[in-house]
């Protein structure tokens, strides 16, 4: 989010493609996603045919995000209930099992720490 990330007059876009072993298994290499994403960004009007792309790269992170599927609510209640029962505090994207930005994950950590402090 810094103007120093790109040359003057330019911009940057991060695209994320989600896969799930259960619902949408990975069926291509990360590099094979670049051109279809660029095509779709053009189709949506986020970039134009005249735009010059200086850099495109991929990164595959198997456990990067929480998958919100139809099993999530029941699983979350089970996991959080168990952790509550045995006295383990949880926080952040994976502990809260939610899609959180960095500041939200940090706040979640502060809240979990305060909860612990309040019990001592």
Q: DSSP letter at 28?
A: S
Instruction: Identify the pLDDT of residue 1.
Output: 57
Specify whether the CB–CB gap between 89 and 108 falls below 8 A.
no
Return per-residue pLDDT of the chain as tens, 120 residues.
577 888 888 888 889 888 888 888 999 999 999 999 999 999 999 999 999 999 999 998 887 677 778 888 998 999 999 999 998 999 998 888 888 888 999 999 999 999 989 988
Q: Quick one: which of 80, 65, 82 has its CA closest to 112?
A: 80
Partners of 20 in beta bridges: 24
| Pairwise CA distance, residues 38 & 73, whole Å | 34
Instruction: Identify the pLDDT of residue 100.
Output: 84
Instruction: Identify the pLDDT of residue 93.
Output: 84
| Tokens of residue 22, six digits | 């259960």
pTM above 0.85, yes or no: no
* Residue ranges covered by each domain of the chain: 1-64, 72-119
């Amino acid at each position: 989010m810094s103007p120093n990330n790109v040359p003057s007059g330019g911009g940057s876009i991060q695209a994320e493609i989600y896969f799930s072993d259960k619902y949408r298994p990975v069926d291509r290499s990360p590099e094979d996603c670049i051109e279809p994403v660029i095509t779709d960004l053009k189709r949506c009007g986020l970039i134009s045919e005249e735009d010059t792309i200086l850099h495109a790269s991929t990164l595959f992170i198997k456990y990067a995000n929480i998958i919100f599927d139809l099993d999530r609510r029941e699983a979350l209640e089970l996991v959080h209930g168990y952790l509550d029962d045995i006295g383990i505090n949880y926080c952040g994207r994976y502990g809260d099992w939610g899609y959180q930005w960095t500041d939200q994950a940090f706040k979640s950590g502060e809240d979990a720490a305060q909860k612990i402090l309040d019990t001592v």
